[in-house]
Amino acid sequence: MTTIASVRGVIFDLDGTLADTFPVIFAAFRHAFAIYADRHLSDHEIEAMFGPNEEGCIRKALPSNWEPCLAEYLKEYERVHDLCPGPFPGVIEMLDWLKSRDVPVAIVTGKGAQSAAISLRRLGLSGHFTIVKSGSPEGSIKPQAIREVLEEWGMPPADVVYVGDAPSDVTAAREVGVRVLGAAWANSSDAAKIEAMAPDALLRSIDELRAWLAGAGVSPAL
């Protein structure tokens, strides 16, 4: 039987990993672009813009009028957040379980700081994370953000796992050297694409994630 090295810290992606926030994202982008670009965007067109945070996506599409469009996006993001009324079942219990074992948790997300704060507040998750690293308008900075978390925790990459629902999450984690768990429990996730990136494990439920972490022997940071 293969022994899994112990885990002393866990970093999570947000969208599609802790909660199904994509309907909120799509609705807010569609609303803002209908007003400021007179365009109706499909989910696929919106997803194709991902990489930079929302500010970067909007700046690229509307370079001369991005600020009011971003403000409208954030206003609508808050207004329609009931499209995602809570985190995935079992998320809060898992976070409480990690806390009871003194295992620190952080978020590294590609979304902007303002939308991340809205979602964490509306999902009742704000108090669970002392470190939240958001995305950049210039493009994906997840590897850099993961390194910053490791530095703040004072941990080597081998002691930490990253949990994310996209192939790009696997790439970012591998670049830093942390272990990576593929989150394939959301309807929006593409398990085959994640699995093709060879994560350390492909997990299809929060229960499977908790079982993997328990098998890894989560251990206190200090």
Q: What angle do CA 126, 149, 146 make, to 5 degrees?
A: 105
What would the mean pLDDT of 5-19 be, rounded to a whole number?
A: 94
Distance CA 106, CA 9 (A): 8
Would you place residue 57 in the very low, low, confident or very high pLDDT band (cuts 50, 70, 90)?
very high
Distance CA 187, CA 184 (A): 8
In this structure, are residues 108 and 13 in contact, taking their beta carbons and an 8 Å threshold?
A: yes
pLDDT at residue 218, as a whole number: 64
pLDDT at residue 215, as a whole number: 85
pLDDT above 70 coverage of the chain, percent:
95
pLDDT at residue 27, as a whole number: 98
Would you place residue 172 in the very low, low, confident or very high pLDDT band (cuts 50, 70, 90)?
very high
What kind of architecture, by CATH, is found in domain 9-21+85-216? 3-Layer(aba) Sandwich (3.40)
What would the mean pLDDT of 122-132 be, rounded to a whole number?
A: 95
What would the mean pLDDT of 9-33 be, rounded to a whole number?
A: 97
Would you place residue 4 in the very low, low, confident or very high pLDDT band (cuts 50, 70, 90)?
low
What would the mean pLDDT of 43-72 be, rounded to a whole number?
A: 96
Helix axes 54-61, 66-79, angle to 10 degrees: 140
- On the question of pLDDT at 130 being above 60, the answer is yes
Would you place residue 1 in the very low, low, confident or very high pLDDT band (cuts 50, 70, 90)?
very low
Strands (E), the chain: 9-12, 105-108, 131-133, 160-164, 179-183, 201-203
Would you place residue 6 in the very low, low, confident or very high pLDDT band (cuts 50, 70, 90)?
confident
> Whole-angstrom distance between the N-terminal and C-terminal Cα of the chain?
28
Would you place residue 2 in the very low, low, confident or very high pLDDT band (cuts 50, 70, 90)?
very low
Average pLDDT in the chain: 94
pLDDT at residue 3, as a whole number: 39
- On the question of pLDDT at 5 being above 80, the answer is no
